[in-house]
Amino acid sequence: MKVLVTGASGFLGREICRQLTARGIATSSLCRRPSTPLEHLGVQQHLGDLTDAGAVSSAVAGCDAVIHNAALAGVSGPPAPYWAINVGGTRHVIEQCRAHQVRTLVYTSTASVVFRPGGLEGVAEDLPYPRRHLAAYPAAKARAEALVLAAHSPELATVSLRPHIIWGPGDPHFAPALARAVLARRLLMPGHGGNLVDTTHLRTAAHAHLLALDRLQQSPAAGGRAYFIGQDDPRPLREIVHHFLAAAGIDARWCAVPPRLATAAAAVSDTWLRVIRSPRTHALSRFLVTELLQPQHFDLTAARRELGFDPPIGFETGLAELTRTTPSAPDDSKETSCRKRTSSSAPS
């Protein structure tokens, strides 16, 4: 079997490739630039962009299965780039899977495709998409997921996985964004952080993709569904943030911003970014603030029952590993990181 992984040079994509090659599976990738870690894993690398149908066709040719992990992620920014990459790129992947008679397609979605004001508390996959998404990223990912699930057929078995806040050693998104937001040992955050949030360790997320791949190859008729995945260990957001910062050697105090004030500031930011046509994908936004204020945890029964899913690593074990492998932040970064650059937490 030969498996193509799109976005393989990214955080999750690289771990998926590591687990595939550890099994002895011939693995190839479609990325925009060469990757030394993928070279060390023995992954065949195709360079190209999802928006280029020819590049996608060349990468898909000769493969038996595709794990479509590449996407533009963000909490702000105009719709066009998200639609071009996440929706248009996914269309190209589906079309080329059909053209090259690929039998299996696993798609990396996100729990944010069903996120709405009020949050997600123990929700299952029967929860419909909201009538209106809070940002272009979840809207585009929801549309792409719908395309993947609609493409399920006897010729092409498809499945979609919905992780939330992927973290672990080498995390370039969530934990570093928190670290950059610390100023003078204070972290300004909307609300008091008591909302329960489930997360997904990097190895858990990659493991779920391989389980889905196995399941579709054993029983193609089991496809056409989306599955929430995670640690199944929801914790208060404030606790999660404390652990991630502590793993980086950062001692910061949570400073609660009243929700109404944070939401108003985000609305102003959204309006201003739209007026100046800013392309920034990680600016303060209503989507980000709402996600940070609301609970987000999920019923994983379907993934357990139909994929045989169980997190291969617990939260505490993963945290200990993160602490061992994350370089401590220098003292001056704790004081000045916010002055140097402004960032925000990456979506999952």
Active site residues: 137
154, 309, 321 from 244: Cα distances, Å: 44, 25, 11
- SS3 helix, strand, coil % of the chain, rounded to 5? 45, 15, 40
- Angle CA 13–79–267, to nearest 5: 110
E strand or H helix at 138? helix 136-150
Per the structure block, which two tokens stand in for 201?
């360790």
What are the tokens at 69? Answer: 């992990």
CB 11 within 8 A of CB 205: no
CA dihedral 28, 33, 39, 43 (to 10 degrees): 0
Is the C-alpha dihedral spanning 87, 90, 95, 98 positive or negative? negative
Using a 10 angstrom Cβ sphere, with 0-12 exposed, 13-18 middle and 19 or more buried, the burial of residue 181 is buried
Task: Write out the DSSP string of 24-62.
Answer: T-EEEEEESS--HHHHHHT-EEEE--TT-HHHHHHHHTT
